[in-house]
Each structure stands twice: as C-alpha cells, then as structure tokens.
Amino acid sequence: MYQSISMDEFYQKSKRESIAIIDVREADEYDNGHIVGAKNLPLSILTENANSLNKATNYYIVCQSGGRSAQACAYLADKEKLAVTNVMGGMSTWKGEIVHEKL
C-alpha cells in the first residue's frame, strides 16, 4: 500500500524540507523539464533498477499526470516493500522551478 499527496501539498513540503523525488517519465521527458533534485528512473526500466533504491527512504514519485507514478508506487510498495508516495497531478500541475537538461 502506498500513500498519495496532492501537488499543492507536495510543493509546500518540498519548500520546507529535503525530500527524495523519483521521476518515472522517460529520459526525453525528464530532460525537457523536471523538478530540481529529482532522480530519473523511467517506469519502463523500474523493475530492473528498483534495487538501487534505499529501503530506509520515503520516495515521492512523479510523472506527467499521475498515472505512471501510481503504477510505480504500486510496484515499489508491493514488490520492493519501499515507502512511496504518489504525487497526484504530476508535472502537468507543478508550479515550482523546473530544470532543463542541456542536449
């Protein structure tokens, strides 16, 4: 089981404290703009790379609109036994700073 948080709550929390963010969008989507400090771990390769995540960390999972992040949360909470929180609304509702990777 995993938790969910609204984008507004997530944004306020990210301003108050350091949080671990995983962006499960594909690399090109991530490169086009992501939250400062977010680690890119695309849903398409999540199962092969989930073992790189720390079981003692609570991760906030984002995607474009909330669908892929919900899938990732279900997998990570059930199969990997990680503490994860789905960020509802995803990047489509993010109001904070966005980092763009230089191509």
Domain layout of the chain by residue ranges: 3-96
More confident residue, 103 or 84: 84
Q: Find out whether 94 and 5 touch, Cβ atoms under 8 Å.
A: no
Stretch 64-82: mean pLDDT: 97
Per-residue pLDDT for 33 more than 90?
Answer: yes
Measured between alpha carbons, how far is 55 from 35 in angstroms, rounded to an integer?
Answer: 22
Q: What's domain 3-96's superfamily in CATH?
A: Rhodanese-like domain (3.40.250.10)
- Of the chain, the percentage scoring pLDDT greater than 70 comes to 98
What global pTM score does this model have? 0.95
